[in-house]
Chains A and B, each alone.
Chain A
């Protein structure tokens, strides 16, 4: 069964500093992996996704993530944090296609990112 673990429920960085949000997955088959962001009082917005192909995935707002099969990780990074990046970030894995799970996302617990001046 697929699962996702996000290390660190809260991360605080200075404006302009590197953002690193950690995500490890568990999957018995090649996973489809996603990062979503949730701003206060809003729904979720897709930042980026990995399905197949290139392991370094670039997303919106300057974020990128690298799929590392050997480490079962899909960490999210951004070289320089901006105040507007303050939000909650969710890593997610899609349920295996072999069990017929259309669009059934398994979410991590989330990481709240704070950016201070």
Chain B
């Protein structure tokens, strides 16, 4: 079974631009979560989707948004990029998104904002 796939692996953008990151979960998994990882703030929860519905959202500005498609693939979008958005963005999937389920993480997208 293929793992969680995130594309692209690396991305370089400039301030003010927008960016879209993609995540393909493990086949059969319907829950997809997104996390931001930075040296200063560590790992922080962005949002979680299940069956195309956002069920949870972290404390991030409205510039951060996401969506999930009927095949469970998910995208996250960041508009009007700021230098502080430079981070590793990790996607994780699980079968139902239940509390005791194991999360399977992708290798992440490393975003650099110049």
Chain A residues close to B by CB (< 8 Å): 32, 36, 41-46, 49, 51, 90, 94, 97, 100-110
**CB distance A103 to B42 under 8 Å?**
no
Give the distance to chain B from A88, nearest Cβ to Cβ, in Å.
10
Is the pair A46, B56 in contact by a Cβ cutoff of 8 Å?
Answer: no
Interface size class of B (residues with CB under 8 A): 20 to 34
Partner of A107, one of B43, B94, B107: B43
Q: Is the interface of A mostly helix, strand, loop or mixed?
A: loop
Chain B residues touching A, majority SS: strand
What residues of A have a CB within 8 angstroms of the CB of B44 in the complex? 107
Whole-angstrom distance between the Cβ of A22 and the nearest chain B Cβ: 16
Interface pair A110/B31, CB less than 8 Å apart: no
Beta-carbon contact of A103 and B107 below 8 Å = no
Write out the residue numbers on chain A whose beta carbons fall within 8 Å of the beta carbon of B97: 102-103
